[in-house]
Amino acid sequence: MTHRKPQLAAERLRQLLHYDPATGIFRWMANTNSRRAKSGEVAGNINSVGHRRICIDGHFHQASRLCWLYMTGSWPTGFRVRRINGILDDNRWANLTLRAQ
């Protein structure tokens, strides 16, 4: 049996985080149960590959995919989110595009 993480809804994402499309930065809206996530702080960290990842409800998500969910209300299913300028942690909305997997 394969266990998949539950699909995060756009509404839940928007309750927890504010995304600034001009800067590509997510900030926590309110304190969560985590001692590390404080209101107003930049969310997530950079992984070993160079992507920003954010832990929501115990599950890690790539920030670029969260941007897509936040802005469109749906996951980029069947697509990879790609950065036009190639900088892996540049998640400005104008810098993101989709590529078929």
| Whole-angstrom distance, CA of residue 45 vs CA of residue 57 | 16
pLDDT of residue 38: 84
Domains by residue range for the chain, with CATH: 10-100 (3.90.75.20)
**Selection from 32, 36, 2 nearest residue 17 by Cα:** 32
Provide the pLDDT for residue 15: 94
Run of H or E including 53: strand 52-56
* The pLDDT value given to residue 61: 97
User: pLDDT category, 31, cuts 50, 70, 90?
Assistant: low
Rounded to two decimals, what is the model's pTM? 0.88
Contact at 8 Å (CB) between 17 and 53? no
Per-residue pLDDT tens over the stretch 40-93? 999 999 999 999 999 999 999 999 999 999 999 999 999 999 999 999 999 999
Q: How many angstroms separate the CA atoms of 6 and 8, rounded?
A: 6
